[in-house]
Structures are given as structure tokens and as C-alpha cells.
Structure 1
């Protein structure tokens, strides 16, 4: 089985003054605005590549964790995940140097050791974690709620 998804961007203008629009094939994002101010400044009305990457990573990891629990015969009730993506200066350019995943899940009938083991394996096996392997630091803080 293989799945291919797509997104597109239209950019107009140069550098800091330019503006872009991000769309996905599903329409979940439809001409979502982004630009310099939403990426590096304080514009909170538009999106940016890092928060979209964080959303994708958090979503992928949450599913990977839930599926890993299913494989162990353990049912998850709720899985809440956050991904903080840091864009840092790297010489004259920028790079993503850290992604901090935070998991808070309600999983009845599991002890913390098993929970931590499944969470770590899900992080290692999540397709987006694998795709982002060049990021120097991908951390995980996992909290079991009952």
C-alpha cells in the first residue's frame, strides 16, 4: 500500500515583502496565507512552514502511538500531542534544529513503563520522524493520564 498526498504554494513578490498561499489537495488548507511576518515576526493571522511541519509530525506520531498500542492489544482513549519546531539561525541561513514532541494520553490498563516503551517506539517508527531524521534533536516527553 502506498499513499501520495499533495500540497501547493503560490508565492508572489520578493523576500520579506512577498506573500504566499498554501493549499492542500483535501482543501483542509485553502489558500492559507503565509509570509515573512508569520514565519519570523508576530503575525498570528497567517501560517508558516514550521507550524505546518509541527502539525504533521504531531498528527503522524499520535496515529503511530495509537496503532502501536492497538498492536499490543491496548486501546487508547485519548491521545493529545504537541510538536514545537524550532527554526534557528545557521550561518547566513536557517535550519530546523529541534522538534519537541509532547504526548499526553489516556490509556487504561497500562503501566508507565509499558507506556513509555510504546511511546518511544512510536516516535522511532513514525514516518515523519523517519523523514525528519536530519533534525539534530527530536525529543519526547510522554505523560500517562488515567
Structure 2
């Protein structure tokens, strides 16, 4: 069954001096200020499209990895994931680094690395970001 999630943004002003508010409309969990300086300089209490992409990727990836490991018969104790999205004005998103620390008893390093890479390829957000040429994975089994 397909699901649709919605976010909306109201923007006022020019690119450089303007600002907007992003609303997580489907969940109603909040609204977040967004601006050009939050993308290209310091966040100063605002978010950016790249930070929102990082949030989506850091949430989606461990779901994909957990699902794959569970299907293989492993018990996942914990997955801590960070996504770093690099934005270069004029070039766009130039790289993403996914870092994951996993606690999965009885899982070999080799099987973990294979599952981690497979999850990187098959995570729906990774697939949506396929235009980003440089998505790096750092996976650590603890």
C-alpha cells in the first residue's frame, strides 16, 4: 500500500535575504525556519534542505539495515546512524557520508559489511539520492 507524506514551505523575500518556514504537514510534528545563510554559512537556529535530507537519510538507512539483518536471522540491539550532507553553492550536494555503529551479537565483520553496503544501495532515500555521485559509508560493528 503506497503512502504519501507531505511537507510544505512558505518563503518570503529574495534568495539571499529571504526566509521560509518548513512544516512537517503529515505528522504535524513542527515547523522549522529555513534560509540561504543556513545553507551556505552558519545555521543560526535555522535548518536547510541539506539538513532535512541528512535527517531523512539517517532515519531511512538504519531501517533498511535492520530489516536486512533481521531477515538474515540476526538480532539487532542498536544502530546509531549519522548522515553528513555536503552542500557547495553553485554545485549542489557534492557528497554524503553515512556513518553507522551497530551492535549485532554473533554477526561477523564480513557479513556486517555486506549487509551495510546492501542497505546503502537499497535504502529508499539512498535510491532517491542516486544523482549524488559520492555517497560514502563508514560502518562499524561494536
TM over 0.5: yes
The CA distance in 2 between the partners of 1:44 and 1:111, in whole Å, is 43
The CA distance in 1 between the partners of 2:106 and 2:11, in whole Å, is 50
Which of 91, 115, 119 is residue 116 of structure 2 equivalent to?
119
Residues paired across the two proteins, number: 141
4+ residue segments displaced more than 3 Å: none
TM-score under structure 2 normalisation?
0.95
Is the contact made by 2:39 and 2:87 (CA closer than 8 Å) also made in structure 1?
Answer: no
Deviates more, 1:74-83 or 1:34-43: 34-43
1:93-144 CA distances to partner (integer Å, 9 max, x unpaired)?
A: 3311110000101111111001101101111110111111110111101000
Which residue in 1 is equivalent to 2:138?
A: 141
The CA distance in 2 between the partners of 1:9 and 1:94, in whole Å, is 23
Which residue in 1 is equivalent to 2:81?
A: 81
Once the two structures are TM-superposed, the CA of residue 16 in structure 1 deviates from its matched residue by 1.1
1:51-77 CA distances to partner (integer Å, 9 max, x unpaired)?
A: 110110111101000000111010111
TM-score under structure 1 normalisation?
0.92
The CA distance in 2 between the partners of 1:57 and 1:114, in whole Å, is 22
Query: For structure 2, which runs of at least 5 residues remain unmatched after alignment?
Result: none
TM-align CA RMSD: 1.0
The CA distance in 2 between the partners of 1:20 and 1:43, in whole Å, is 13
Is 1:49 the equivalent of 2:49?
yes
Is 1:71 the equivalent of 2:66?
no
Which residue in 2 is equivalent to 1:39?
A: 39
1:18-61 CA distances to partner (integer Å, 9 max, x unpaired)?
A: 01000112022x22101122111223311111011011011110
The CA distance in 1 between the partners of 2:19 and 2:4, in whole Å, is 27
Query: For structure 1, which runs of at least 5 residues remain unmatched after alignment?
Result: none
> What secondary structure sits across from 1:85 in the alignment?
strand
